[in-house]
């Protein structure tokens, strides 16, 4: 379970895409998923430009 405080922390940390700087989510512009769907116990943020990051419940980034 990802704690709400961690979700908020990571949401702020990854609000802006590292590649293009977009902070848009939804309508195909980007995704922010916390502890849901295909990312149980994880935090996931992705951007339409192809950038994405996934962390574990402690905020540690996963490498693919």
At closest approach, how far in Å is the CB of 3 from Zn ion? Answer: 26
Q: Which is nearer to Zn ion, 48 or 57 (CB)?
A: 48
Q: Which is nearer to Zn ion, 32 or 49 (CB)?
A: 49
Q: What is the token pair recorded at 5? A: 């405080």
Q: Which is nearer to Zn ion, 32 or 57 (CB)?
A: 32
Taking phi first (over 0 means left), then psi (-120 to 50 degrees means alpha), and beta for anything else, what does residue 31 get? beta
Q: Does residue 15 interact with Zn ion by CB under 5 A?
A: no
């Amino acid at each position: 379970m990802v704690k709400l405080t961690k979700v908020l922390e990571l949401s702020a940390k990854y609000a802006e895409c590292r590649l293009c700087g977009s902070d848009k989510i939804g309508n195909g512009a980007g995704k922010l998923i916390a502890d849901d769907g295909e990312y149980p116990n994880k935090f996931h943020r992705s951007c339409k430009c192809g950038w994405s990051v996934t962390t574990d419940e402690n905020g540690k980034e996963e490498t693919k």
